[in-house]
Amino acid sequence: MAHWAVPLCRLGKTFALDVPWLQFITRPSGQVNVNIGLPITIANVSATELFGMDSDVSHCPNPAGCYDPVRRARFWGVAVASVDLGLMFKLQDVQLSRLRAEGLEYQLLVPANVVLATDSSTEDMVVTQSPAAEKSTEEQGAIVTVSAMLPSGDAWTLKVWRLKGNNPAWRTPLLATMPLVCLILAAELLVVLVSSYRHGELVRAMLPPAAVRCLAAGQEYAEAFDGVTILFADICSYTTISSELTPRQVVALLSGLYDRFDKLCEQHGMYKVEIVGDCWMAASGAFPRYAPREAALRAARQALDMVRVADAYTTEDGRRVQIRVGLASGPVFASVISHKMAHVTLIGDTTNVAARMESSCQPMHIHVAASTAALLHPALANTSSPQHDLGKQASVPPGFASATSCDLPATLPRSYLEAATHNQGVLSMSSVQVCVNVDTDTSKAASCCTSGPAEELLVGSSVEVADPDTGCTLHLVARGPQNIKGKGLMNTFWLSSTPSLQA
């Protein structure tokens, strides 16, 4: 052996007679040797046995600790084998070479406490390493460390890492494409959000908020209203006009006119119910709720503006149109009848009366039922005797809760529907009261009213109605009893912004 050094008492002053040991030696040339030592003891001897020598040559640092009195065994010496680790790993590098095949760098180290070096370094000694391991220490990524405990109690450590970090080859392309992927996902999310918002806007445009909330909760919507004014309008001679135009021209005609009506509807706070053919229907006082008289005033303003718009409207081919408008007030019941192509339907005789007012109207006139006239002017309250009190709050029929709670059943009670279609808003002609050019103050109006039977109604009498919001004056011209199809005799009125209309 080129170098000899035996640490016999690595565990302290007490020498372990039966424990083999390892000693690593590094030389200035970088060569690493390992000395493998095995203690040899001779049994059945005394503690002063010299084994035929003139003196003790065992070099035992603690003679008392080198003798086992139980076994009567005395330390004789150490059998040492010296191995060149560099040569050993060159011959046995098959397993480590697999790491290189995987593109990994490695180092095999032993702890500093078993290394006898030519300098005073206390670092763990590198026994073997991959060819590029020393050069790549500055480019090491995350290091994976594996330790193995030998019988001697020494821990050998294997460090493995990948050159330039433990990053896969696809990491850089992935990082480069991530911003693009995020941008695409953000764009897709934006499209979904915009689509959802537009869908919500479409639903909210088709249905009132209360109905949207109920349907979104999976429940039926039904709500009762009182003092609602219904407006119907259609185009005069529509059948003749449409037969003279192409379908595209008919669509342009209806769209151009009814788009203007829709804008007026938003302006006056009314709710457009539906369009059926050339018939345009809206309601005032339901969505949102208004006091009955305010609802009637809003509907009156809407009707007057619609007539003005229609009078000024001209199609692309120079064609002009005329409309008829009908108004009626009273209780209605709102519900979504079908969930496919859902829209709110207003059920009740008030709707029927408004439709009759429109169908019996003259071109470019506004035909008003007595129920609406009574709301516009208190002095006309007795021109009819409706079976429903306009001042009484409507109630939800049996089996229904309030629409705000959306706690509603799936079907509408038939008894209520029959009552709604037969008993709501029926007008009696037993007595009438007509005031001509009276003050809008109720107390003054009552003093100038005259009562009498229906046949004594002064046809052509004009009643002024002051509009507190616009400051304008509306005029109701009495038509007297009119035979309305399906309704019999009813007192009706013309509504205009001037008193010049003839009954």
The answer to whether residues 301 and 436 belong to one domain is yes
Establish if 216 belongs to a structural domain. Answer: yes
- Which of 192, 133, 131 shows the shortest CA–CA distance to 160? 133
pLDDT for the residue numbered 285:
93
Establish if 292 belongs to a structural domain. Answer: yes
Establish if 223 belongs to a structural domain. Answer: yes
CA angle 216, 220, 226 (to 5 degrees): 115
Domain boundary among 43, 63, 92: 92
The answer to whether residues 216 and 343 belong to one domain is yes
Establish if 69 belongs to a structural domain. Answer: yes
What HEC string does 308-346 produce?
HHHHHCECCCCCECCEEEEEEEEEEEEEECCCCCCCEEE
CB 95 within 8 A of CB 110: no
Phi-psi region of 76 (alpha: psi -120 to 50; beta: other; left: phi over 0): alpha
Q: Which CATH number characterizes residue 268's domain? A: 3.30.70.1230
The answer to whether residues 84 and 228 belong to one domain is no
pLDDT for the residue numbered 418:
38
Cα-based torsion angle of the residue sequence 401, 405, 411, 416 in order, rounded to the nearest 10 degrees = 30
pLDDT for the residue numbered 188:
95
- Which of 48, 75, 45, 47 shows the shortest CA–CA distance to 60? 75
Element (H, E) at 496: strand 488-496
Distance CA 473, CA 455 (A): 28
Establish if 183 belongs to a structural domain. Answer: no
295's tokens: 């609802």
Establish if 186 belongs to a structural domain. Answer: no
- Tell the residue number behind the tokens 């007509």, with chain if given: 434
Containing structural domain, residue 59: 1-92
Number of C-beta neighbours around residue 446 at 10 A: 14
- 3-class secondary structure, 351: helix
Cis peptide before 288 (omega within 30 of 0): yes
Provide the domain count of the chain. 2
The answer to whether residues 88 and 216 belong to one domain is no
Sign of the C-alpha dihedral computed for residues 271, 501, 459 and 358 taken in this order = negative
Question: Average pLDDT per run of 10 along the chain, which is 503 residues long?
Answer: 37 48 68 77 81 72 70 80 71 70 81 59 74 66 77 76 74 90 95 90 83 86 93 94 91 94 94 91 93 95 96 90 96 87 89 95 95 88 48 45 43 36 33 34 35 51 87 90 90 85 59
CA–CA distance from 287 to each of 268, 291, 334 (Å)?
12, 12, 10
Q: For residue 149, which phi and psi values (nearest 5 degrees)?
A: -95, 125
Establish if 385 belongs to a structural domain. Answer: yes
The answer to whether residues 83 and 220 belong to one domain is no
Domain boundary among 39, 64, 92: 92
Domain boundary among 53, 76, 92: 92
Establish if 401 belongs to a structural domain. Answer: no
469's tokens: 């919001």
